């Protein structure tokens, strides 16, 4: 029967493949390390060494996939191994070659694939080293391809080792036949240590020809160390059986020393012990391995260790040191920089920050980039919280200095969360998680500051998680309530508005303020519905008060970011206004910078619509973020609300007083009214009035109250509304609120 050439090729290929012992999983740690490395470098969940035999592809080593073989017909690798270079499939669903492949349309739902062929010295394709993702990826670059090929070379290297070991277990003759064509140096010794076999690759590596060394003692090339290793390997059956390798140094003809990997075995030849050794020059491989390991452990942009390496070092520290400190450092205002300077500018800032961070710590400490604009610092053997605080302060100060990028000076800030070992956690996971909670706290307390982890932070966090499951019930059972806090005109004390603030009347915990549950709301699916309910209830209440007092009272409503994602905010607001017959001027919507940063594109249009309609738009917590002037120009605003942190610090710090002055100046020059929040004392109110602030809100006048209680404190005098004296300052404050909720706990 006539057979065509490709059939013969396939036969030769299968014969070559069989020399590698493909039927078993390659259980060597070296393969595991290589696929792990591939998965780290390319940030993919799945990496495989796939070998293709007659009918199947076998996953000889793998990470991230449960199956260990598939049929050859559907195999990506059967295709990729025959291609020159790396095969990249950016999105399998859109690729005519693979879109109908059952591995794409069904489990494991491959979307992205890149595979480098594994070719023997004779050019036979064995399979591939491939990386796979379940999402499409269009960012696999030329240099990624080169790295994948380098990794494939390391895999082949290992496979070759395995082939020789298998051959060695067969007959001496067969071994010598295979050894003759091996790219590795191979020599055999008799029981006296004399060289009996020497292949071409040994010639190439060490310079001696086979003729010149045959019969010579192994001392010719071997250091004492080598001889010792040979003896040890030859006598240690367990090592031999496992086919383990060891590293050593040999001497070449020209006197140079070569670092080689030695793998040896003993067998009996005509009753006499013989010794075979495979020597492999590892200089080149070491270099390429080192480079790839670097790629997997260091951040390409800043050169800092990445998250994986930080974890390893933290693990090390926990294993060897008595104490340690981890900090998570997050930049404030980085997105602004990225938006205004572009990505290259953003990258330059990150590089500058990396340098500054490194200069703030000791040589033995680790500064790592965790991703995005988040960094971490590991300070092994640091136990004093005072010292940790000093380092954190130094970091914050150093990052606060303007960074000059192409002649332009930009400012970012940093917030720091700190966790100490062993006080604040016992595992890597716990410590990083707790440092993260502390960071979160630092951010919410005004940023540009550091906070230590404290146990209550974890309780709050787990409470937040716990509340998640209760939100639907709370919403459906009407457990959410709106409280209202008065806003008073500083010139004459008239009540000009109220801010609606959300409360949760929890059946077990009592009255909860947003700090306890808002995050759970924002993380959940119900946010738009709850947001809509808040708008409608506030409009309803404002309408009722308007009727009752015969005068309009503006109500401020805080918005959630998610309310902008649904695309129907303007319609919902119009609907509420018309349902409750409330003039648009009686409603104010409060937005924070955080919402703007996340929903910028989606916001302008609905806000403009509503602003045109007569609804006021207030910029909440102004001064805490990095809201730029351009933001004030771009957004249709009516008011700025000065954050309470400035108000409370105003009397003590001239800096905060200056910020308030600046905000007032800015606001007024944009034609905006300014409201000061968190006014607690008469002195603060007086100061603010003198500086030209129009309206104030705070405990001095009243905490947020339930509508019935507040209503009793409102009086109409002339054409204005006022709060009765009893509501000013002396009344119930949030502390009482909290106490009330705690006692019902």
> Which residues bind to ligand C2E, rule: CB under 6 A?
485, 500-502, 513-515, 518, 534, 558-560, 620-621, 644, 677-680, 698-699, 704, 734
Q: Is 593 in the site for Ca ion (CB under 5 A)?
A: no
Query: Which of Ca ion, ligand C2E, none does 573 bind, CB closer than 5 to 8 A by kind?
Result: none
Q: Which is nearer to ligand C2E, 536 or 546 (CB)?
A: 536
CB of 607 to ligand C2E, least distance (A): 15
DSSP states of 713-735: TEEEETTEEEE-GGGSSSS--HH
Residue 71, helix vs strand vs coil: strand
Q: Is 590 in the site for Ca ion (CB under 5 A)?
A: yes
Q: Which is nearer to Ca ion, 332 or 677 (CB)?
A: 677
# residues contacting Ca ion (CB under 5 A):
5
Q: Which is nearer to ligand C2E, 90 or 544 (CB)?
A: 544
Query: Which of ligand C2E, Ca ion, none does 35 bind, CB closer than 5 to 8 A by kind?
Result: none
Phi/psi region, residue 313 (left: phi>0; alpha: psi -120 to 50; beta: rest), is: alpha
Query: Which of ligand C2E, Ca ion, none does 513 bind, CB closer than 5 to 8 A by kind?
Result: ligand C2E
CB of 406 to ligand C2E, least distance (A): 37
Q: Which is nearer to ligand C2E, 413 or 514 (CB)?
A: 514
Cis ω before 108 (30° cut-off from 0): yes
CB of 517 to ligand C2E, least distance (A): 10
Q: Which is nearer to Ca ion, 330 or 621 (CB)?
A: 621
Query: Which of ligand C2E, Ca ion, none does 688 bind, CB closer than 5 to 8 A by kind?
Result: none
Cα distance between residue 733 and residue 727, in whole Å: 10
CB of 367 to ligand C2E, least distance (A): 34
Query: Which of Ca ion, ligand C2E, none does 502 bind, CB closer than 5 to 8 A by kind?
Result: ligand C2E
CB of 469 to Ca ion, least distance (A): 27
Inter-CA distances, 293 with 26, 33, 139, 287, Å: 21, 10, 20, 10
Sign of CA dihedral 120, 123, 124, 129: positive
CB of 504 to ligand C2E, least distance (A): 10
Helices (H), 360-404: 385-400
Query: Which of Ca ion, ligand C2E, none does 637 bind, CB closer than 5 to 8 A by kind?
Result: none
Query: Which of Ca ion, ligand C2E, none does 534 bind, CB closer than 5 to 8 A by kind?
Result: ligand C2E
Cis ω before 324 (30° cut-off from 0): no
Q: Which is nearer to ligand C2E, 234 or 500 (CB)?
A: 500
Stretch that binds Ca ion, among 345-353, 546-554, 562-570, 669-677 (CB under 5 A): 669-677
Inter-CA distances, 140 with 97, 112, 117, 145, 150, Å: 18, 10, 17, 7, 15
Query: Which of ligand C2E, Ca ion, none does 515 bind, CB closer than 5 to 8 A by kind?
Result: ligand C2E
Q: Which is nearer to Ca ion, 133 or 620 (CB)?
A: 620
**What's the token pair of residue 49?**
């060494």
Residue 317, helix vs strand vs coil: helix
Query: Which of Ca ion, ligand C2E, none does 61 bind, CB closer than 5 to 8 A by kind?
Result: none
CB 286 within 8 A of CB 298: no
Q: Which is nearer to ligand C2E, 91 or 680 (CB)?
A: 680
CA atoms within 13 A on the CB side of 445: 15
As a dihedral over the C-alpha atoms of residue 650, residue 655, residue 656, residue 659, rounded to 10 degrees, the angle is 130
Beta bridge partners of 246: 262
Stretch that binds Ca ion, among 182-190, 363-371, 431-439, 587-595 (CB under 5 A): 587-595
The H or E element that residue 241 is part of is helix 237-242
Q: Which is nearer to ligand C2E, 60 or 710 (CB)?
A: 710
CB 414 within 8 A of CB 400: yes
Cα distance between residue 637 and residue 556, in whole Å: 13
Stretch that binds Ca ion, among 278-286, 379-387, 521-529, 672-680 (CB under 5 A): 672-680
Whose tokens are 């020497």? That residue is 198
As a dihedral over the C-alpha atoms of residue 358, residue 364, residue 365, residue 368, rounded to 10 degrees, the angle is 70
CB of 704 to ligand C2E, least distance (A): 5
Cα distance between residue 677 and residue 697, in whole Å: 5
Which residue in the set 144, 373, 620, 731 belongs to the binding site for Ca ion (CB under 5 A)? 620
Q: Which residue is nearest to ligand C2E (CB)?
A: 698
Q: Which is nearer to ligand C2E, 361 or 562 (CB)?
A: 562
CB of 31 to ligand C2E, least distance (A): 53
Cα distance between residue 62 and residue 59, in whole Å: 6
Q: What is the CA radius of gyration of the chain?
A: 36
Q: Which is nearer to ligand C2E, 17 or 521 (CB)?
A: 521
Return phi, psi of residue 456, to 5°: -60, -30
Footprint on residues 542-571 left by Ca ion (CB under 5 A): 558
Hey, how many other C-beta atoms are within 10 angstroms of the C-beta on 256?
10
CB of 447 to ligand C2E, least distance (A): 15
Inter-CA distances, 393 with 113, 331, 390, 397, 417, Å: 46, 14, 5, 6, 11
Q: Which is nearer to ligand C2E, 361 or 703 (CB)?
A: 703
Which residue ranges make up the site for Ca ion (CB under 5 A)? Answer: 558, 590, 620-621, 677
């Amino acid at each position: 029967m006539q057979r065509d050439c490709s059939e013969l090729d396939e036969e030769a290929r299968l014969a070559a493949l069989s020399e590698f012992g493909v039927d078993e999983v390659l259980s060597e740690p070296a393969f595991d390390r290589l696929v792990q490395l591939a998965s780290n470098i390319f940030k993919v969940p799945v990496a495989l060494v796939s070998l293709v035999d007659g009918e199947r592809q076998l996953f000889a080593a793998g990470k991230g996939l449960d199956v260990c073989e598939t049929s050859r017909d559907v195999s990506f690798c059967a295709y990729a191994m025959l291609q020159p270079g790396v095969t990249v499939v950016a999105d399998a669903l859109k690729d005519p070659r693979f879109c109908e492949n059952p591995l794409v349309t069904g489990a494991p739902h491959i979307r992205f694939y890149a595979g480098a062929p594994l070719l023997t010295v004779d050019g036979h394709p064995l399979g591939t080293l491939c990386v796979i993702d379940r999402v499409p990826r269009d960012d696999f670059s030329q240099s990624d391809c080169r790295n994948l090929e380098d990794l494939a070379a390391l895999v082949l290297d290992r496979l070759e080792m395995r082939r020789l070991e298998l051959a060695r277990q067969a007959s001496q003759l067969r071994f010598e036949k295979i050894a003759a064509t091996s790219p590795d140096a191979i020599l055999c010794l008799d029981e006296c240590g004399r060289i009996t076999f020497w292949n071409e690759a040994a010639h190439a590596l060490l310079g001696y020809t086979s003729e010149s060394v045959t019969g010579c003692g192994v001392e010719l090339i071997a250091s004492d160390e080598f001889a010792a290793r040979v003896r040890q390997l030859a006598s240690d059956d367990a090592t031999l059986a496992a086919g383990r390798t060891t590293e050593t140094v040999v001497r070449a003809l020209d006197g140079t020393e070569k670092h080689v990997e030695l793998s040896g075995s003993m067998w009996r030849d005509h009753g006499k012990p013989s010794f075979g050794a495979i020597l492999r020059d590892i200089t080149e491989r070491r270099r390429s391995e080192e480079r790839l390991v670097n790629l997997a452990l260091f951040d390409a942009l800043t050169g800092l260790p990445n998250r994986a390496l930080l974890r390893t070092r933290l693990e090390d520290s926990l294993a060897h040191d008595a104490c340690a400190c981890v900090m998570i450092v997050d930049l404030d205002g980085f997105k602004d920089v990225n938006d205004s300077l572009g990505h290259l500018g953003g990258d330059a800032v990150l590089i500058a920050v990396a340098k500054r961070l490194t200069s703030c710590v000791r040589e033995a400490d680790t500064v790592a980039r965790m991703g995005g604009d988040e960094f971490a610092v590991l300070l092994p053997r640091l136990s004093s919280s005072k010292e940790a605080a000093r380092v954190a302060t130094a970091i914050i100060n150093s990052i606060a200095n303007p960074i000059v990028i192409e002649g332009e000076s930009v400012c970012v800030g940093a917030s720091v969360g700190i966790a100490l070992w062993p006080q604040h956690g016992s595992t890597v996971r716990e410590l990083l998680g707790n440092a993260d909670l502390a960071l979160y706290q630092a951010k919410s307390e005004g940023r540009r500051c550091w906070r230590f982890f404290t146990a209550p932070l974890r309780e709050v966090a787990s409470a937040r998680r716990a509340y998640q499951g209760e939100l639907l019930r709370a919403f459906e059972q009407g457990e959410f309530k709106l409280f209202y806090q008065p806003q008073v005109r500083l010139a004459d004390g008239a009540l000009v508005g109220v801010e609606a603030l959300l409360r949760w009347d929890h059946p077990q915990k009592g009255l909860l303020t947003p700090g306890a549950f808002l995050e759970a709301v924002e993380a959940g699916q119900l946010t738009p519905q709850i947001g809509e309910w808040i708008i409608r209830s506030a409009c309803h209440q404002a309408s009722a008060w308007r009727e009752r007092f015969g005068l309009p009272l503006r109500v401020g409503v805080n918005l959630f970011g998610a309310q902008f994602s649904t695309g129907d905010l303007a319609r919902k607001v119009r609907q509420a206004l018309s349902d409750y017959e409330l003039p648009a001027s009686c409603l104010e919507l409060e937005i924070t910078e955080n919402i703007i940063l996340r929903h910028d594109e989606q916001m302008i249009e609905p806000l403009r619509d509503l602003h045109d309609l007569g609804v006021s738009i207030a910029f909440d917590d102004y001064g805490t973020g990095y809201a730029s002037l351009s933001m004030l120009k771009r957004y249709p605003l009516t008011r700025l609300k000065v954050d309470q942190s400035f108000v409370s610090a105003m009397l003590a710090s001239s800096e905060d007083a200056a910020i308030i002055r600046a905000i007032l100046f800015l606001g007024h020059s944009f034609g905006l009214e300014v409201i000061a929040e968190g006014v607690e004392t008469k002195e603060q109110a007086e100061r603010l009035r003198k500086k030209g602030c129009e309206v104030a809100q705070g405990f001095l006048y009243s905490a947020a109250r339930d509508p019935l209680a507040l209503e009793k404190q409102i009086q109409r005098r002339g054409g204005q509304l006022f709060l009765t004296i009893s509501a000013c300052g002396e009344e119930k404050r949030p502390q009482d609120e909290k106490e009330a909720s705690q006692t019902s706990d």
